[in-house]
Amino acid sequence: MAARGSIDTTGKARRNMTVNDIDTSPLPEAAPAAPTPLTLDRLAGLTAEIAEEVRQGLHEIHFDAEERWSVRLRADDYTDVWLISWTPDQSTRLHDHAGSLGALTVVTGELVEHHWDGGLRERILAEGEGGRFPLGHVHDVVNTSTAPAVSVHAYSPPLTAMHYYEVTDGGTLRRTGSILTTDPEPDVPTLEAVPTASAEPEEGGR
């Protein structure tokens, strides 16, 4: 046996360990396992690639002043890709994408994203810029400019649900409802129409 303090065959000095030598600090929380083999970087790259196709005129775009127009461009087992147009002042409600990762790239125009980070934070997304949406990312998007905007969005796994939120008077985030949907532009005319887990059934209903 080597003497205390001598070098062992691995080249590391031996010493007696005490309880004070053990790192007892809590381990960092593990990030939630991704529900898809695609990464956020890959989704962002995909939206950038298709945004360039749109700029080259390979995909038709429509604008509707009454509601946001959208069309699905691609769909498979792992991802779906949407093209969305925004006329001035059109916006989403504060929401997340349930169990899906997401990304977007602005094709033309400019969009403003407000995302929740202990409070609402704002960032401006100009033409060619984009965002990545990990699990639990709560945000809304709005076209505050006087010109139309176009964006490409990708979700993986394909979108199946959305949760809606509001910021309370106390500055906290509160979920107001959830819907099952495969469309990032679901027809939900008012938040009151979004079912919640705590909602009481209407009289005579089931």
Q: Which of 129, 125, 143 is nearest to 86 (CA)?
A: 143
Neighbours of 116 (CB within 10 A): 17
In Å, how far are 4, 20, 24, 95, 194 from 16, measured between CA atoms?
Answer: 8, 11, 18, 55, 63
CA 110 to chain centre: 18
Is 95 annotated as belonging to a binding site? yes
Cα 205 from Cα 4, distance rounded (Å):
79
Q: Which of 86, 97, 49 is nearest to 64 (CA)?
A: 86
Helix (H) or strand (E) holding 71: strand 69-75
Cα 104 from Cα 63, distance rounded (Å):
18
Cα 91 from Cα 104, distance rounded (Å):
15
Cis peptide bond upstream of 157, omega within 30: yes
Is 62 annotated as belonging to a binding site? no
Helices (H), the chain: 40-55
Is 115 annotated as belonging to a binding site? no
Query: HEC states along 41-54?
Result: HHHHHHHHHHHHHH
List residues forming the annotated binding site for Fe cation.
Answer: 95, 97, 139
List residues forming the annotated binding site.
Answer: 95, 97, 139
